Amino acid sequence: MFSPAVLYILLLVGGPFFLAIFYAFSDARIGNAEMHFVGLENFRSILQSPSFRVAIRNSFIFTICSQIVVIVGANILAISLEKTFRGRGIIRFLILLPWVAPIALGAIGWKWILDSIYSVITWVLVAIHIYKPFSAPMWLGEPRLAIASVLLVHSWRLMPFSTVILLAGRTAIPKDIPEAAAVDGAGFWRTQLQIVIPMMRPIISVAVLFGLIFTFTDMTVVYILTAGGPFDSTQTLPSLAFALGIQGSDLAAGAAISLFLVPLLVIIAYFMLRVAHRAEVN
């Protein structure tokens, strides 16, 4: 009964996964049919490479910081979208747009917004005399700004997803509860921070865990916005694996880098399953 699913997982997930493990211990290169077993040589050289250390650091920065931004932002959006007002449907639709549009399209849009010459942001800042023409910051050209830009786009992209999940979570809380809190004397902030949001903990964990996986494994945003630059300063594990393994033809190095994702994803998956299990039990 499960055989199509099993087959699908074996072919499309299991196959590449074991191939990656196999490559990581070899000296496989694109365009070279010969392959030798080299033991841990690939891992040793990766761990010594500064680009790899930056990529690991970035992967964590992007994932964790964007999740913080997303959860705070999504809570604010969910609270404001909960009440009924004119045009709520349209606003909900607009907020959902970044999620339904292909990542590549969104990222290209942002590339324009942050472009060194055509940037709208720069144009506005110049127009209101915060910067002089030609001296405005290069959003994607300076390492720190580039990191901030990637973070911004990741947050922008995940916000709608979390908002929708949190909205669903909020509507699942009986109306009596915030009302009881109001009668008990709690103001808006206390009701939100001590009653509603703690009650939504399981649903927030779901949003966070999904967000972690989406951001951690994503390479599109980095690849389109900065291609890992300037000077590999925005490289993440997936984008570095792609740059070395596919673009640089060093399949073995790419495979070894991507294997570093596995332990982290396993931990996240474990927590996801636990949350799902707890939701089932309750």
Partner 1 sequence: MAVVETRDLTKVFKEGQLGAVNNVNLETREGEFLVFLGPSGSGKTTLLRMIAGLETPTSGEILIGGQVVNDLSPRERRIAMVFQSYALYPHLSVYKNIAFPLKAQNVKKELHKEKVEWAASLLGIGALLDRKPRELSGGERQRVALARAIVREPAVFLLDEPLSNLDAKLRASAREELERFHRRVGTTTIYVTHDQVEAMAMGDRVMVLNKGVVRQLGTPTDVYDNPADTFVATFLGSPPMNLAELGDVIVGFRPEHFRPVSTVTDAAVPFRFKVENIEYLGSEWIVSGTLAGGKLEGKKVFSRLSSAQNLQLSGTYDFAVPQNHLKFFDRSSEKRVEPRAVSWQQHATK
Judged by CB under 8 A, the residue of 184, 231, 247, 269 near partner 1 is 184
Minimum CB–partner distance for residue 175 and partner 1 (Å): 9
The nearer residue to partner 1, 57 or 201, going by C-beta atoms, is: 201
Minimum CB–partner distance for residue 176 and partner 1 (Å): 4
Stretch that binds partner 1, among 105-113, 118-126, 152-160, 191-199 (CB under 8 A): 191-199
Give yes or no for residue 177 binding partner 1 (CB under 8 A): yes
Phi/psi of residue 29, nearest 5 degrees: -135, 155
Minimum CB–partner distance for residue 76 and partner 1 (Å): 21
Stretch that binds partner 1, among 15-23, 178-186, 216-224, 250-258 (CB under 8 A): 178-186
Which residues neighbour 96 within 8 Å (Cβ) at sequence distance 6 or greater? 160, 163, 164
Instruction: Round to whole Å and give the CA distance between 206 and 32.
Output: 44
Give yes or no for residue 16 binding partner 1 (CB under 8 A): no
The nearer residue to partner 1, 117 or 183, going by C-beta atoms, is: 183
Give yes or no for residue 205 binding partner 1 (CB under 8 A): no
Give yes or no for residue 278 binding partner 1 (CB under 8 A): no
Asked if residue 48 lies in contact with residue 258, where contact means CB atoms within 8 angstroms, the answer is: no
Residues in 48-67 at the binding interface with partner 1, rule: CB under 8 A: none
The nearer residue to partner 1, 82 or 179, going by C-beta atoms, is: 179
Which residues neighbour 31 within 8 Å (Cβ) at sequence distance 6 or greater? 249
Within a 13 Å sphere around the CA of 248, how many CA atoms are in the beta-carbon half?
Answer: 13
Which residues neighbour 217 within 8 Å (Cβ) at sequence distance 6 or greater? 238, 261, 265
Give yes or no for residue 181 binding partner 1 (CB under 8 A): yes
Judged by CB under 8 A, the residue of 50, 102, 185, 263 near partner 1 is 185
Residues in 227-256 at the binding interface with partner 1, rule: CB under 8 A: none
Judged by CB under 8 A, the residue of 35, 101, 168, 199 near partner 1 is 199
Give yes or no for residue 92 binding partner 1 (CB under 8 A): no
Instruction: Round to whole Å and give the CA distance between 97 and 105.
Output: 11
Instruction: Round to whole Å and give the CA distance between 83 and 262.
Output: 42
Instruction: Round to whole Å and give the CA distance between 93 and 99.
Output: 10
3-state helix, strand, coil in the chain (%, to 5): 75, 0, 25
Asked if residue 145 lies in contact with residue 139, where contact means CB atoms within 8 angstroms, the answer is: yes
**Paired tokens of 201:** 């903990």
Judged by CB under 8 A, the residue of 35, 145, 182, 213 near partner 1 is 182
Give yes or no for residue 198 binding partner 1 (CB under 8 A): yes
Stretch that binds partner 1, among 38-46, 177-185, 219-227, 243-251 (CB under 8 A): 177-185
Which residues neighbour 134 within 8 Å (Cβ) at sequence distance 6 or greater? none
Which residues neighbour 58 within 8 Å (Cβ) at sequence distance 6 or greater? 147, 150, 233, 234, 235, 236
Residues 137-176, mask of contacts with partner 1 (x by CB under 8 A): -------------------------------------x-x
The contact set with partner 1 (CB under 8 A) reads 174, 176-177, 179-187, 190, 194-195, 198-199, 201
